[in-house]
Each structure stands twice: as C-alpha cells, then as structure tokens.
Amino acid sequence: MSRFWSPGVEALVPYTPGEQPKDRTFVKLNTNENPYGPSPRAIEAIRAATGDGLRLYPDPTAAALRAAIGARFGLDADHVFAGNGSDEVLAHAFHAFFRGKGELLFPDVSYSFYPTYCMLYGIPFRQVPLDADFSLNTAALSGPCAGIVIANPNAPTGIALPPAAIERVLRANPDVVVLVDEAYVDFGADSMAPLVARHDNLLVVQTFSKSRSLAGLRVGFALGQPALIEGLTRIKDSFNSYPLDRLALAGALAAWEDTAWFDETRHKVMADRARLTAGLQARGFAVLPSAANFVFASPSGLGAAEMLQALRERGILVRHFAKGRTRDWLRISIGTADDCDRLLAGIDAITAA
C-alpha cells in the first residue's frame, strides 16, 4: 500500500478480468467474446466517423443511439441510458440505487463484479445460495433489502430464468430496484425489456460486447422508467459527461440497426453451443443448461484446475473460478466450430495421455 492512498483503498478486492494473452496462437475461450466479429456496417461507420470530427466532443446524451435502442423495445429515449460498457452502467446503478439502504441481495454464484461494486461504494450485501444444481430459487430474494441484482442468464452458470419468475420478484419487492443484468440474453433467454413499462422498479442492463461483437468498443445500456434513467444520468454527469466517444456511438448505432448480422451470428453461436455441449457430455463432462455464449462444465476423471492447465499447455484458454462451489467447474466460451473442435481434440489428447 501507499501512504498516499485514501482510507478504504487497501481493503478493496478488485475484479480480475480474464486473461488477454499477447500470443495470438491461443484458442481463446476464456472471456466470452463473440468469435464471429462485428457487423461490417459497424466497421464502416467507425471508419466514417474518423477524421476532423474527432477534435469535437461526442454527443453527451447519446441521443441517436438511445432513440434507436428505445424504438426496438417500444420505449421513448427517456427510458434508455447509455454508458461505457455495461460494467460502467452497472457501477452507476449500484451508486444511484443501492447505497445507504441496507443489504443488497444477489446469488452467491454470479458475476464476480457485484461484490466489488459493493465494496467500492460501501454497500453491505447478502449472497443468496443457489440450489445444489445451481438454479436460483427466486423466493429467497425477498425481505427488507436495498435492492436485488439478477444476472439472467446467470454468469458463470449460463442458466436462465423465465420472465414470470423475475416478475414475481418485482412484485414481491415493489419498493426497491430489481436490476436484471442481461449481458448474455440474446443467446437464448427472454429479455425483461417488455416489462419495463409495467414496473417502475425494474432496471434492465444490456451490452454490445457479446451478441454484437463489440467488446473492444465498450458500449452498454440500461432500460427503465424515466425516474431511474434520470438517477443514472445524474451519476454519469457527476463523473464523466462523455462516456461514449464518437467512434463508439457510430459503431454501436450501425451494429444495432444491422439486425440481419446480429441474428446470423448469434444463431451460429447457439448452434455451436449445442454441438459443444453434446461433445463435452460424450466425454463425461457434466454441463449445465446454458442460454449464454458459454457453457459451465465439470470434467470427469481430472480436476478442473488440472484440466485448465493441461488445455493451456495445448494452446487453449478457458476460465476457472477456483473458489468455493465452482472449484470443480470450467467456464468455456463458445468459439467458432473449428475452435470447438480443437477444444474437444485437446480434451481427448489429455485424457488419452
């Protein structure tokens, strides 16, 4: 630690992102990036946005992007907030809605950034245990609390809840914000976006990083009734009025409008997921039902940590959450068909050795 740090900095436990190797020879199945690349229209829009215009600040309200996102869901732009990736949107939501109100509730196996945000903002939290099969009993998400956060589909398990289950949580907790983190929703789950107009305590957060292949651009958004969006905007404008640059705004808008590319690539991922799941199960892995662009799988006959290292030695990266209930499981991103074949071949070589 440094003597110049403010009180509390030493106690923070920062989020650890997945490895981003400099060696491009790896089959990279560890950070849930989309293997099929962004819309060509998005790339062209980014190119067109370069030039002299970069000397000017971007639109601080992201008006065109917010209007386009809202229109897709039958909402006005005042129901949409845009930020620098869904991680920033989530951070602003934790700041705006959950501080100073008691304990925040979220599952014990979920996105590991949630406890980090709580520590950063001084929010006490209670992690609700998932059932033995990693499913979430939504009835446990109740009682006095500061709010509720549900990743749907959940990460790292990939399991999705039906909208009716989440709506029961909304109705049981009308006086707090229920945040539904839908980073992976486009790979087989049902969005809560259609319910935004009915519930003033619902905030839906999505990202362009996964289904639109723009993880390098950093664009996320939230959907909620105008009072919630105003709260997020107050936090944003007290922190950084220009979170989305001109290139990000141009690329995201073009990607959003290219629904054909979006549907083609996400359905490829879903098909590859089904094929990889079958291949892993045929090799003795336990695989949870996934509605995301990854699978959560437990190897047979070899520990998850050992399998992780053996795959890495063969040039294949996957993710291992080594603590607690997930120590025996690997999260494997869905790559191209060739990537998945190389993974399965690597597993065969490991188990035959």
The ranges of the chain with pLDDT < 70 are 23-24
The helix (H) or strand (E) run that includes residue 129 is: none
Q: What is the pLDDT of residue 19?
A: 75
Domains of the chain: 7-37+260-352 (3.90.1150.10), 42-258 (3.40.640.10)
Q: What is the pLDDT of residue 24?
A: 65
| Backbone dihedral angles phi then psi of residue 15, each to the nearest 5 degrees | -65, 140
- Counts of helices then strands in the chain (DSSP H, E): 10, 13
Q: What is the pLDDT of residue 6?
A: 87
Q: What is the pLDDT of residue 17?
A: 77
- Alpha helices by DSSP H, listed for 57-123, are 63-72, 85-97, 113-121
Q: What is the pLDDT of residue 20?
A: 77
The helix (H) or strand (E) run that includes residue 122 is: none
Q: What is the pLDDT of residue 301?
A: 86
To the nearest 10 degrees (0 to 180), the angle between helices 40-49 and 246-257 is 150
pLDDT tens, 309-320? 999 999 999 999
